[in-house]
Amino acid sequence: MSNFSRQIRLSSSLIKRLQDRTAIVNPRSFTTIEGNRPTIVHKRSIDILHDPWFNRGTAFSMTERDRLDLRGLLPPNVMSSEQQIERFMADLKRFQVNARDGPSDPNALAMWRILNRLHDRNETMYYKVLIANIQEYAPIVYTPTVGLVCQNYSGLFRRPRGMYFSAADRGEMMSMVYNWPADQVDMIVVTDGSRILGLGDLGIQGIGISIGKLDLYVAAAGMNPQRVLPVMIDVGTNNEKLLKDPLYLGLQEHRLDGEEYIAVIDEFMEAVFTRWPHVIVQFEDFQSKWAFKLLQRYRNIYRMFNDDVQGTAGVAIAGLLGAVRAQGNPMIDFPKQKIVVAGAGSAGIGVLNAARKTMARMLGNNESAFDSARSQFWVVDAKGLITEERQNIDQDALPFARKVKEVGRQGLTEGASLVEVVRQVKPDVLLGLSAVGGLFSKEVLEALKYSTSTRPAIFAMSNPTKNAECTAEEAFSVLGENVIFASGSPFKDVDLGNGHIGHCNQGNNMYLFPGIGLGTLLSGSRIVSDGMLQAAAECLAAYMTEEEVLKGIIYPSISSIRDITKKVAAAVVKEAIEEDLAEGHREMDARELRKLSEEEIVTYVKNNMWSPQYPTLVYKKD
């Protein structure tokens, strides 16, 4: 039996008392089991005010000010957290008004700076603001603004957040991890900065994506912010501009490659799992040449997943299943869909593999079904349609290369252009994961008019906004209301006139990765299995009502993200139990976890979602 399942177990009577206690909690509260315990701190006075984890500013009560030697260090008026938020929001709204230039939106980067300053001084209030305004501020702390933040991170850097491991630290990482102050870390998001959001190699500045992702783990999944860790692995950069920039904060040398590169990542993984054996590591924005290799290298050894490969795939699968429903068909008809995919990088291949597995399972989950599913995809990269005639074909794309005779019967050849493929195949779905802005030109969209589906679907999934294959307005202006549109970055709904609305669905990875991480954590699963990822995608696909999908709404509102994450995490926990991977979490051991009903699993997840409440602080000398 593993160490996980040897943890202290709750007696049945204590579980009963815990259930009775949580039953009377305000249903809108997401308090964790330990959430109401006093927090022991080993600092006071001005040091508390400079610590964003514990600082609550003017919300310290007079009793706390006396206990922590804060009297006289703050204005005398004690404010509630609601009053603090009201004051912050009033200041932010004033900025929005003053920054407005005619009809344009406020400067997103300036908005990020204001929110980041709040994060630096009062973490609890920061997450209160973010959770309460998640639809408005998710695009600021995450895509698309986080791309701009990463591009300018060396200039924006004010105080360190997270950890930096570099090629210069080889041989030291095992000791370095103990420099991080938290004894418990539940979630790490790590990047090497080599492929940030389709913006290319941004080197050390890519840590902005790790920080942004973890903000959403806290806001959406209720991960405790004191137990998350953003990480940058700096192995150099091949960005010539950064190599010559005197203000660049990273190593100014070309990227390591081959065995030297793998050795650095190996050392990092061994170090973090030695100190925090039960941590979950999410790989983020690694270039395609390493994304799959590292995923296959670690996924059966460590609790890890790659969001670009697996998270993007899950969100796309949920959208594709939703599109089948929006076309008036049952999800079981998914294997009949003809799908043209633009892009054969890590995200594109990840979606293809996941979609093929989903189709195969619906067709009987055998070798014949798996082979049959392959024929539903046409993959187009920068060189055109991929066929078996392609020279030096990427091994990951090889399973999706079309047979020459097959495409010949369709009037196509190796390297055929995207517009030719769309015109000849007449697909049900046009899926973009190319990171090439405007790839779905008017000519390509015109070709989609001849789709054999009465309601074809367009997925312009590349981030950030400038890399989207087309905009919602472009899609609806060419194809009218009988098209389903989804994108990776947010676009506004399109007014089609006569009271008709063209709905823009944001197929954002934030629908899934927080729930995958939380579900893995609470199940105690040793790995993140394909079944757990599939359960997450199917849960998201089923979240929308029949009435909503028939209107062309295939993804839910970001404003519901905590409820979505709760249900996705519960689906992941349930699948981990069914696959016999669950080993339990803290007091809930594997045996007790297996006894929970589906409804009780949802309650278990809900009760372990952190909520930004000011804890009672008790000073204790070291």
Q: Catalytic one among 213, 357, 566, 606?
A: 213
Q: Are 313 and 353 in contact (CB under 8 A)?
A: yes
Active site residue 466: no
Written as one string, the DSSP assignment of 492-503 is --EEEETTEEEP
- H/E element holding 340? strand 339-342
Q: Catalytic one among 126, 142, 511, 614?
A: 142
Greatest Cα-to-Cα distance within the chain, rounded to the nearest angstrom = 83
Paired with 233 in beta bridges are 165
Paired with 293 in beta bridges are none
Q: Are 210 and 189 in contact (CB under 8 A)?
A: yes
Give the C-alpha separation, 372 to 374, whole Å. Answer: 5
- H/E element holding 152? none
Q: Are 549 and 326 in contact (CB under 8 A)?
A: yes
Other residues' Cβ atoms within 10 Å of the Cβ of residue 370: 17
Minimal CA–CA distance to 461: which of 439, 441, 477?
A: 439
Q: Are 609 and 222 in contact (CB under 8 A)?
A: yes
282 class by beta-carbon count within 10 Å (0-12 exposed, 13-18 middle, 19+ buried):
buried
DSSP state of 287: -
In 34-62, which positions are buried (b, 16+ CB within 10 angstroms) versus exposed (e)?
ebeeeeebeebeeebbeebebbbebbbee
DSSP state of 559: G
Q: Is 431 helix (H, G, I), strand (E, B) or coil?
A: strand
Active site residue 620: no
And the tokens for 107? 């400067």
Catalytic residues, by residue number, are 142, 213
